[in-house]
Amino acid sequence: MSYKEPYTEQLRINFLKYTGKAFQFLPEMKNPKILDLGCGSGLISLELAKLTDGIIHAIDIDPILLDKLNEKVEIRNLSQKFRIQRIDFLKNNFPNDYFDLIWEEGVVHIIGFKKSFKECNRILKQGGFLVLGQSIKLMEKNEALITECGYELIKQLNWPKGCWWNEFYGPLEIIIKEIHEGKKPNLFEDINKIEEEIRWVKANPNDSDCAHYILRKKIEGGE
């Protein structure tokens, strides 16, 4: 997904309602330490900052996107709530049992499910939560890793079927058509890549169905 494109980021805002819905299923946490894994330009990070009084550790490997997040945080006067770092997640130096909540959307499958699950388990407190926004198809293939890597599945919240098309790629296709017809200026750095993604979603409609998965790190010798 081309989230680096400024216009696609505006469309991606449509999905924040699913983020908020998933957050409602978490227990109340006072001043939690939260990791936004693969934060990009910070759409999820800023949403989490609205939903909690905790500290948001926002990490990514892309310095341009992190600069955008820093700008947004400064404009909103939220610097006290954020710790923004350029970090390769698998090479992080976070302590063991550090975070109360780790949140990711569309990142773990790039890093690798097993590696990500294990590293998240290391830095999560016992009983802490890992929330994933992922493809249902990919999660079904990696379902066994949930237990294997020390978690229990608390809740699966499916996004509406077809929402990627209805709320993201459908509107994009209309805009691109208008660009080709000369009705609008080209808003994209890489319009060919966007068109390729649109064709893929059309050809594989079920593969784009997503859900939020709320996982809880098992407590040793406990629940």
Where exactly are the structural domains of the chain? 15-161+209-217
Per-residue pLDDT, 1:
43
Q: Scanning the structure block, which residue is given the tokens 């750095």?
A: 189
Buried b (16+ CB within 10 A) or exposed e, 178-204: eeeeeeeeebbeebeebeebbeebeee
pLDDT at 2: 47
Nearest Cα to 102, choosing from 10, 147, 36?
36
Beta strands 55-60; 82-86: pairing state: parallel
118 vs 131: CA distance, rounded Å: 14
Q: How would CATH label the architecture of 15-161+209-217?
A: 3-Layer(aba) Sandwich (3.40)
Q: In whole angstroms, what is the distance from residue 96 CA to residue 33 CA?
A: 13
Backbone angles phi, psi at 4, to 5 degrees: -70, -25
- Please tell me the predicted confidence (pLDDT) of residue 223: 52
At residue 128, what is the residue type? G
- pTM equals 0.93
Is the CA virtual torsion 195, 108, 168, 44 positive or negative?
Answer: negative
Main-chain phi, psi angles of 78, to 5 degrees: -115, 15
pLDDT, residue 5, reads: 63
**For position 207, what pLDDT does the model report?**
87
pLDDT tens, residue order, the chain (223 aa) = 444 566 688 889 999 999 999 999 999 999 999 999 999 999 999 999 999 999 999 999 999 999 999 999 999 999 999 999 999 999 999 999 999 999 999 999 999 999 999 999 999 999 999 999 999 999 999 999 999 999 999 999 999 999 999 999 999 999 999 999 999 888 788 889 889 999 999 988 888 899 999 999 999 765 5
- E strand or H helix at 56, and its extent? strand 55-60
Residue 53: DSSP 8-state: S
